[in-house]
């Protein structure tokens, strides 16, 4: 059981270049998320998808776009990379409400370390 898989693991971009970070989960979760992690700031939510066919902005969406390709896959695109987007990016997925009520929490991928020069 692979859980949440992200590609690539490392990437260096030049300012202005574009790229897409890929994420796939095999846990049949409805909801998926993209976070970025910066030193001293914890993780901040960029975008999320509560269910297939829907996406919503999180705390720091500027400069990013997302696509929920199907239930398994949720991609993050940087159209014109900037040095401020140098970060570690994590994809996550979560279940929805259970019969006993919400349990909460999320499962995370291994991360993509992105450097923009």
Partner 1 sequence: GNSVTQMEGPVTLSEEAFLTINCTYTATGYPSLFWYVQYPGEGLQLLLKATKADDKGSNKGFEATYRKETTSFHLEKGSVQVSDSAVYFCALSRSGGTSYGKLTFGQGTILTVHP
Interface contacts to partner 1, rule CB under 8 A: 4, 30-33, 40-45, 48, 50-51, 58, 90, 92-97, 101-111
Instruction: Compare residues 16 and 102 and give the one whose CB is closer to partner 1.
Output: 102
Rg (CA), the chain: 14
Instruction: Compare residues 20 and 54 and give the one whose CB is closer to partner 1.
Output: 54
The answer to whether 24 touches 68, Cβ cutoff 8 Å, is no
Instruction: Compare residues 77 and 97 and give the one whose CB is closer to partner 1.
Output: 97
């Amino acid at each position: 059981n692979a859980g949440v898989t992200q590609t690539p693991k490392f990437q260096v971009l030049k300012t202005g270049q574009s790229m897409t970070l890929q994420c796939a989960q095999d846990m049949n979760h409805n909801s998926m998320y993209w976070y970025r992690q910066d030193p001293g700031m914890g993780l901040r939510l960029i975008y999320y998808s509560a269910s297939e066919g829907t996406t919503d902005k999180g705390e720091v969406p500027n400069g990013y776009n997302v696509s929920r390709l199907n239930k398994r896959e949720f991609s993050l695109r940087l159209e014109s990379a900037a040095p401020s987007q140098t970060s570690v990016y994590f994809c996550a997925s979560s279940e929805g409400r259970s019969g006993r009520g919400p349990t909460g929490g999320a499962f995370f991928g291994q991360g993509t370390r992105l450097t923009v020069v």
